[in-house]
Amino acid sequence: MKSSLVIAILVAVLVIAGTAGYLALTNQNSPTAALINAKRLLSRNFTATYQVTIAPTAIAMNGEIPGIPIKLTWVSGYITISRTPLMDATVINGTLSLTRYGLGSSFNAAFWKFNNELCFAVEFGFMGVQAITHCVPYVNITSNYVAILNESRYIGAGVWDGRTTYCFSALITTTPTSNQYGGFEEPIVVNVTKMCLLSNGVPANATIYIYPAQQSLGSFMIGTNLTLINYSFTFNQEEFTQITRGLIPG
């Protein structure tokens, strides 16, 4: 009887200690909690608007010697990303403009899982409204983001809207399938030099460079800067339904 009571007490102590440790890890403001909560965002409704700047650079090669980088015109604007775990549905819309020429274009895009396929619908307003709808064998479009979180290394704290952020760097190499990028299957390096997360896991800002793992003639690099404007834990159902002509995730 006494031994049973001792075992019960030990089990209770272990459960309480484990629960307390888990809550301390996930609820306190810390880099670890920010990373854990960033992964959790993928399993809940979430919408965020970002100010974005995209700076593509062409690199001319002379044999094995890299040439002088040639900066192309910048693209800047605002994008809103909204996601729900139901059907892996995602809707993205925004307005981007070519900085040098002052030309702008709005776009709307939706992605969703249908059986064993990844379907997408895209609308963009350039010389009239153009629309594309297509399905390919299923690809998890969040897998690279999870890989970045898994490889993240803490580099210091920052601030967004008066709130502390936890900043990380990460470097991954990914090989796209032909279904992801229209036949481009060469290894790609994603170099996240800085990604700052709020304690709830929401990305507040990021600087990312993307380039081929193997440089060659006519190589390139794309630099992207993202700054959070606002966010909510909701899904833009109305926009998704409009783009997909009536589809409702479920």
Domains in the chain with CATH codes: 29-243 (2.50.20)
CA gap 132, 242 in Å, rounded = 14
- Alpha-carbon span 60 to 218, nearest angstrom: 5
**Residue 220 carries which side chain, given as an amino acid letter?**
F
* 135 pLDDT above the threshold of 70: yes
Check pLDDT > 80 for residue 162.
yes
Each residue of 10-26: pLDDT tens digit? 444 344 334 334 444 44
Among 53-57, 67-71, 136-140, the minimum mean pLDDT is found in: 67-71
Identify the residue whose tokens are 């507040």.
204
Distance CA 162, CA 173 (A): 34
DSSP-derived 3-state class of residue 53: strand
- 185-219 pLDDT tens trace: 678 899 999 999 999 999 999 999 988 887 665 57
Region 125-139: mean pLDDT is: 75
Which pairs from 98-103 meet CB under 8 Å and 24+ separation? Answer: 98/73, 98/74, 99/73, 99/74, 99/75, 100/73, 100/74, 101/73
Per-residue pLDDT, 38: 96
Q: How far is CA 205 from the centre of its chain?
A: 11
What single DSSP character describes residue 52? E
Please, which residues bridge with residue 55 across strands? 223
Which string of b and e fits 203-228 if b means at least 16 CB within 10 Å?
Answer: bbbbbbbbbeeeeeeebbbebbbbbb
CA gap 206, 196 in Å, rounded = 6
Q: What angle do CA 34, 50, 227 make, to 5 degrees?
A: 65
Q: What integer pLDDT is reported at residue 129 of this predicted model?
A: 61
Instruction: Inform me whether the pLDDT recorded for 183 exceeds 80.
Output: no
